Amino acid sequence: MAFLETDTLGQERFSLLLLEPGEIYYEDFSVYYYPSGLSQEQAISRRQRGHLKLCSKSIVFVPKEIQFPILKLPLKFVQDIDEWSGGLFTKVERVIKITADQTVEMKEKNIITPFIFKKEECQHIFSLNYASVDDCLPQMCQVLRASTLPPGDQQAMLNAIMLSRQSRVKFNTSWLEDIYEKIILETRGDRITPLATNPGRIMLTSSRLYFQPFNNIDKWPVLKLRLKDIKRLICRRFLLRQLGLEIYCGGTAPVTHLYLAFNTEESRNQLYEEILSLPDLSLEDTGQEDMTLKWQSGVISNYDYLLYLNSLADRSFNDLSQYPVMPWVIQDYTSSQLDLKDESVYRDLSKPIGALNEDRLERIKERLPDLPEPKFLYGSHYSSPGYVLFYLARIAPEYVLCLQNGKFDHPDRMFNNLYDTWNNVLTGASDFKELIPEFFSDCGDFLTHRGIINFGFRNDGRPVGDVELPPWAKSSSEFVSILRQALESDIVSKSIHLWIDLIFGWRQRGEEAWEADNVFYHLTYEGAVDLYSIKDEAERRSLETQIMEFGQTPKQLFKSPHPQRFTSQSVPKFLSVDNAPRPIETSPVKEVSSLPGLDNLAAVEPKVDKMPQPKSVLDLNKLRSHLQYTLHKDAVTEVRMSPDGLSTFSVSQDSFLKMYSLEEQRQLRSVNMSLMALSSCEVMEDNKTIVVGSWDNKVYFYSIEYGRVLDTLHAHDDAVSCVRWKASKLFTASWDSTVKVWEMDFSNTQSGLPNPDYVGQLDHDEGVTCMDIDDECVVMVTGTKDGQVALWDLSHFYTVATMSVHSSPVLTCLLSSDKRRIFCSGSDRLLKVIDVETMTEIFTKDLTHEICCMTRMGGLLLTGDAGGQLAVWDMDVGQVTQTLKAHQGPVTCVDASHAGTLLTGGSDRTVMLWKEEV
């Protein structure tokens, strides 16, 4: 519960939570209060010392002695404020009288209870201890006049008062820690804590960030954050506008977080960019670029990934109007035992809460024709400040009183019973709330009533106590533990992406949302209304209040279906179902990496539901150069080892095919195959024939046994860029924008080389630069000159999907061994990972050198780059585990088909054989 740790609470009895949400506290005056309803002699003898707080909508007296209640005088009920000098008070100097029709008493004996509203005319007498009446009275009368105006004019006057007061307050430079600090930027902003706003002045220097509030509510007159203690900076959406900046700190910082809001997006961005430009700043590497990859592989939990998505969508623990949202995952709250392997105990995550009950949904749809535009299904949201505090009332009672005007909800409407709450969510006419992170973390304290707060008695006479748990949970900690196990289960893991689609993804808005019965009131969506364009202050304030209290839909993160988490059952649909051809166009989702940092992301947990993968026995740290030779006159373009491991083959841009004997350590063949460069080669399954692709548009078949070219295939209208041999089929890719497929039957080789039979071709928009095919010859991936990657179903010869991945030519592409991912690299120096099921980018890495070649090595990825480095990647986490300097120039090709041995070729014209030291 991060928001309960805010430093503005617990300092004294008075807090901003005693005011209306968003009300501004200006300043206070040391006073004596003379209780009303007593004779003047008694009032003087029983006077109370304390502070009189001047606020934008109320005047609050906070007595020093806690046995007396705090008194709040809402200005809308104040009749008059004037200087007083009557009766015995002629002996008391600097006296102010406030006449009010209502007095609110709060926190008597410092006990949190519902506020007491005394609706009777009363005169409150205060004597100023230090300030003069002329200092105090005009300010009070000014805010009193504002309270008598219509809402729009009232807010305009309050804004003018606040601006005038703030302009007179300059940053106190005596608070600077270091005389050598250089002032970079000074601006105004609000410190945001849940349900409270505190304006102040912000100063950025060369080594620190300062926040100086315009009042004395904070523990520190000036909050000081060293730049080196700032660990994360997150640009936030506040009230559906990009105005927020959340700062997370570590080390010796006085606070763990600071949430600031600004008047304009430009002011926020200016501060953000200035902080980023300072050399003392050292932000944590959050690993944001590979979060989806890690989650999909089971390296991080469902819980952590949902927290990450919430942060990315501007949900924050420090903003109740955008609190992180979590799904109901269990629907059985009556059984004595819960079998987490039984799918029937789980909620259907493909549907929003409002669509789980079909009868209720039909009733909701019946009223659609009578609704004005823009139409909607659900009149309330799945997350709002009221819903968050509904769950947290037992540990955050002051927030409840603040939000509900000093009152607790009726005891029977509180969060009393899990089954009742779930049942109401299923059947209630306007209850569609989801859960919050506390249901899946910590020990469940929010479910326990500690007996300090009196929430009242229910209709059956029972007091509000602990939340009644389902029979299958014996304690609140066990309940939270079981819910967490359910969230991390295989059953939830294989469908949680469908809920992500509803809350953060492509089914959040538009036609897809209507098809999914997932449409809420239009003011909950970002961009639904331009608050800047509304000139009427009252209308704008009304809309802001609706936005804050009604609920806000998270920022949309994904425009296409979200990838599925890998489980033991999950395989790409088109691989497991005999689908008809269905061309699909998808686009990469840029939003996934558009925001810096994470929000309250817990430490990465042990791997969950992780598929076991074989790891390579090849250890780069133990590799030593066993053999190297430079027989080519130009860059080597492909290397291959013979199936028996006795020979190596290489082709080069010098147009030569070379065969080298590892036993005799000498060249056995050197064949000038063409007048142009050779691009690739493959050893055929008869182990006697080498197939070679050339830039002269031809494919050559060379006999190792006879030492000559047996056949030449005029395969394409432009250079052949790649040849691959799989399952008795030859695949040839070309710059003429096609991949052609040929069948060759080697069952009877006595009649010589079988003729290639043309099977068909796969057309592209641009020249094909690379391709990869799975071992079963079911799926193929291709890359093109214009940066596109295409996925092909070879059982039907149709395009599963194409997407623009790189801004320049794709240099190499590869399918993972389980056919769930595509790895690709371009000349833009980006390494990307694409989920096969959804064709969504789940990982992007900007590299120092472009990757020129890659191959599978057990469960790992082996790459060669333009800097001459070999690297082993664990693509479950998107990290390099080993590197080896292999060539003086780019590593252009690699063959890891033989255990314990690696064959590489480079632009330095060298072929190298690497073996592990024993």
At 89 the pLDDT is 56
Percent of the chain with pLDDT over 70: 92
At 36 the pLDDT is 85
Closest to 434 in 3D by CA, of 336, 554, 557: 554
Sheet holding 810-815, edge to edge: 810-815, 821-826, 830-835, 840-846
Place of tokens 């099921």: 837
CA distance 194 to 176: 29
Report residue 339 as tokens: 């079998």
Contacts of 739 (CB under 8 A, 6+ apart): 731, 732, 733, 761, 762, 764, 768, 771, 780, 782, 792
Top CATH class, 169-284: mainly beta
Are 323 and 389 in contact, with CB atoms under 8 Å apart?
Answer: no
CA distance 101 to 767: 82
At 608 the pLDDT is 35
- Domain map (residue ranges) of the chain: 2-166, 169-284, 302-561, 620-916
Are 899 and 916 in contact, with CB atoms under 8 Å apart?
Answer: no
Beta bridge partners of 708: 703
Mean pLDDT of 426-441: 96
Per-residue pLDDT at 520 exceeds 70: yes
CA distance 480 to 445: 10
Per-residue pLDDT at 7 exceeds 50: no
Closest to 223 in 3D by CA, of 213, 235, 231: 213
Instruction: Report pLDDT digits (tens) over 394-426.
Output: 999 999 999 999 999 999 999 999 999 999 999
Range with top average pLDDT, 35-49, 538-552, 737-751:
35-49
- Which of 180-194, 374-388, 608-622, 707-721 is predicted with the least confidence, judged by mean pLDDT? 608-622
pTM of the model: 0.88
CA distance 222 to 255: 12
At 70 the pLDDT is 97
What is the CATH topology of the domain spanning 2-166?
A: PH-domain like (2.30.29)
User: Would 2-166 and 169-284 be classified into the same CATH topology?
Assistant: yes
Mean pLDDT of 764-789: 97
At 602 the pLDDT is 34
Sheet holding 241-249, edge to edge: 223-226, 208-213, 196-205, 183-193, 257-261, 241-249, 230-238
Q: Is 620-916 in CATH node 2.130.10.10?
A: yes
Mean pLDDT of 468-481: 97
Instruction: Report pLDDT digits (tens) over 906-917.
Output: 999 999 999 988
Mean pLDDT of 832-848: 93
Buried b (16+ CB within 10 A) or exposed e, 606-627: eebbeeeeeebebebeebeeee
**What secondary structure letter does DSSP report for 601?**
P
In this predicted model, which residue has the larger pLDDT, 783 or 169? 783
Top CATH class, 302-561: mainly alpha
What φ, ψ does residue 414 adopt, rounded to 5°?
-80, 175
Instruction: Report pLDDT digits (tens) over 229-239.
Output: 999 999 998 88
Are 408 and 117 in contact, with CB atoms under 8 Å apart?
Answer: no
What φ, ψ does residue 547 adopt, rounded to 5°?
-60, -40
Are 50 and 33 in contact, with CB atoms under 8 Å apart?
Answer: yes
- Per-chain mean pLDDT for the chain: 90
pLDDT category at 594 given cuts 50, 70, 90 is very low
- Which of 398-412, 583-597, 671-685 is predicted with the least confidence, judged by mean pLDDT? 583-597
- Which of 191-205, 229-243, 398-412, 536-550 is predicted with the least confidence, judged by mean pLDDT? 536-550
